[in-house]
Amino acid sequence: MSELDIYKRQGMGASVGMGRAPALIIVDFVVGFTDPAHFGGGNIKEAIGKTVHLLAHARKKGWPVAHTRVVYADDASDAGGFTRKAPSLLKLTETSPLSQIVPELQPASGEFVIRKRNASAFFGTELAGWLQWRGADTALITGCTTSGCVRASVVDSISHNFRTIVVTDCVGDRAMGPHEASLFDMGQKYADLMSSEEIMAG
């Protein structure tokens, strides 16, 4: 019996489907995650390239768009448990070049820029309320890393009862093993997996 068969026999992997009002969430595509010397590597740059096209599509459609950045105070006074495990994240301060959204995905007027200090785009932020206010029923999740902040955001998205879709070619990780494993697991338990082409063709 294959691993996929185990999940199927247990009733996993059902489709949530696209709702009538999607929103695009771009998680942590900042400069520091494009550089393997800091937080990058793997397929993150390729995922950014694909997200450029999806962002243009979302803007054309008038979908709500939210971007996230990890931002800590210069004196680390707001540091928490996340930085105990990954203290190098404290480099991501408001003015640090590493914490700035990549030029290719610069937010436009009316797009929500969220500063967060934990993995999830939802935890301790106004994202869920903002999406509800904008009438969104579906969260299209892009960004990095697949096994970290993307996955945490996906779990919290479904916890807020949004239909949740991971855009498979618009998420990236510094290592491909965690990337692939996380996509498989999210697809079985939390979200639909769709490519950017599938979404733009819908």
Confidence of residue 2 (pLDDT cuts 50, 70, 90): confident
pTM of the model: 0.96
Distance CA 96, CA 174 (A): 21
Confidence of residue 52 (pLDDT cuts 50, 70, 90): very high
Say if residues 112 and 65 touch (Cβ distance below 8 Å).
yes
Alpha helices (H) along 101-168: 127-133, 151-159
Per residue in 93-132, pLDDT (tens digit) is: 999 999 999 999 999 999 999 999 999 999 999 999 999 9
Distance CA 166, CA 162 (A): 12
**Mean pLDDT, to the nearest integer, of 133-157?**
98
Select which of 23, 47, 71, 149 is catalytic.
Answer: 149
State yes or no: is 170 an active-site residue: no
pLDDT confidence of residue 4:
81
